[in-house]
Structure 1
Amino acid sequence: MNYKKIAGALMLMAGSLYASAQQGYTIKAALKNAGDAKFLMAYMDGKDFVIDSNYTTEKGIVTFKGKVNHPVLCHFITRNMALNIKTDHGYIPAPGLEFFLSNDLIRITGDANAIYKASVKGGQANNDWNSIKAKEAAITDRNWQATLLSYKDTVAAHQQALKAKSRELREQLSEEQDKLQTAFIQSHPKSLVSMYFLANMVNSLDLGKLEAAYNQLDAAYKTSEYAKRIEDKLAASKATSIGKTAIPLNKTDINGNPVNLQALQGKYVLLDFWGSWCGPCRQSHPHLKELYNQYKSAGFEIVGIAQEQGDDATAVWKKAIAEDGLPWIQVLNNTGIEKFDAVKAYGITAFPTKILLDKDGKIIGRYVGQEAEGLTEKLTGLFKK
């Protein structure tokens, strides 16, 4: 018997199997209660947002096939309107299933009416994630059941009470999930899932904790989009931390005049990041107008920096300024964003955010949220000097 030939054949066979495994993914979903429901997968592949509804069904197994350039987070969704919540303004969709799509055979098993609780097997990231997947699904289920309940009672007063209770529960569940994911990150530093979890925490972790956690993660995934999100946040936070000189805006105001922060030196300047679509931003304007009127003559200026949504950004921006009666300098970040994105440069991840500059153009305060806690007291102290 020629063992060398046999060994060679086995090596060729193994090579062939490896190559075929790398050519693309196969998703096989065995779902109860599928009925006439339709399914889709949605994910970002590089800069492309992909919605894939091209699948086959045989003997109750839904099969998707395709190829991705690298493992990506995927949302598997049941397209069944009966599962959604109908509101006066449209629909609240039922939760989908999250998993990592990679060029592997991935098997999904569950119930089409609660797809978010399905199990996922296949691919290294999914195998890692499975250690906490059931606990996360339980959190999602409690959250969704509370949301369903809050819309079930049509009596307005009852509905408001249920919605308030639902919001309180969501906050509690969010804390539970944060603890679960933080523990996962600590115990799985070599997992892509940890990088994904940490990327979703860039707005909730302080800079020191975010950087420390990132440094513990495996270098293998530090070229991923999730790592890029973390690195961008760290870079922006460091560039706009207390004591740093404010980044030049390179924008024009509502009248087309250039806005130059250097020209405003000698005044205390508040950069107000907001948007017409942002309720808390708009609700903060009356108090901001009071502060402006109180301190303007003493050397206080505000520069509003709006980030708008949709194709009619300029129109809705100008309309909101007129409606709210905002008398200070206004710029629209959308204009010339390809040359300079002020929201990204200043690391703005929540609206409203306000950044206070001293008379030399250095950052001396950063305030997030409608209340901008501490801003009023800061200005009082500054103008008492």
Structure 2
Amino acid sequence: MIHLLRRCRLLPAVVLLLTMGNQLQAQQAPLTKLLDSFYMVKDPARRINIYNASLNQWPDTGRVNIFYNNARSLIAKEFAQANNLAEAKKWMALIEETGPENRFSVKPGIKLEVASIMIEKGDTAYGISQVQPWADSLYNAFMATGKPGLYYNVVMEVYTPVLINKNHPAQVVKYLTPFYEWSKHSFATDRENVMRTPKDKYDLKTNLAVQYAKALSLTGDTKGAIQVLSAMQAGGLYNQDELSKIVNSYSGGVKKNYASKVLDSLKKSNLNRLVKFQQYKQDINGDKIDLKAIHAKYVLLDFWGSWCHPCRASHPHLKELYTEYKDKGFEIIGIANEMAKDTAQQVKNWETAVKEDGLAWRQVLNNRNGKQFDAVTEFGVTAFPTKILLDSDGNIVATFIGNTGGNDLGNKLHELLDAQH
């Protein structure tokens, strides 16, 4: 959640620097220098001095208000981290924003961040006083409109652990069930946190889906809990050993039936998905894709698009891995998802990119027969690039999101294929 809130506040500061010249003209240079010094210093007292000096020279008006609100937000956060709630509240109260909330709004973000910090420091009373009314308001609006508010996911990421610790699983189920169903059986913040956190530092117990499954289990909904855990297992994004350990800490039917139910569910899901993939998808030469005929131990599905710069930036390293492992039982199928509205333009962009990138493995255009089978949706792809590694039975072995240079994929292939030679 912290990563998301930080990202939401970065752009206003950048926008401020880019547009300041129109408003301040000759004063731009000294104020920019002052801005730099504010964010460079580490001492909170010095930061406040810079803030006050800036305020004396440049009034809090117009676009400059964005800077001051971000400055107040940062100071409030630092006081919260120092366990000085009174000062944190004082600085939050100074934040003034007009108009409806949007993803660049400062006030709701720092409100949630300070609440989260105080909960971590043991002041759950304050955290609940801030988050519970917000959660109720978002939930009621969701029920009325059928659409979750902008902050629904991140508010619940803060509030859910509190409800679990206070033994209120029914409340967790109430808040999360409609959002889980609306978001197609996943939580966006879970994927973002996995992507942004080093593997050795990611705590799966903080995962919102894990907490949701636990709440379902505690309310007696064994079937629902297993379905949530099955979706996590099928996605290949999480460490399966850690997930199994968490399930083993549960009591009752989930622990007893998890292994058999999940495996059965996965087999049915994988079979259905692969049958449809082979039925509706053709490669760039118009040939059907028969995964069994490929005779590979592992097949990588590379979800990309001609428009996606990180996707295409990952291709040179992917070509190196393909050369290294193709004779050891490794194959790749590229699945492009094009953004052009015109079908002919989709095909042209795709074929041109395949040629330009020199991709030797089989290529599929997901837009073709997309209504009959959308591979992006069926494989739960929410970001590009995404690379999904399948075993010979079509089970997801691992999922790699984003372009990290291919190190994780390379390490996985080394683990799976080099040890066998």
> Between Structure 1 and Structure 2, which shows a larger proportion of helix residues?
2
TM-score (norm 1): 0.49
TM-score (norm 2): 0.45
> Between Structure 1 and Structure 2, which shows a larger proportion of strand residues?
1
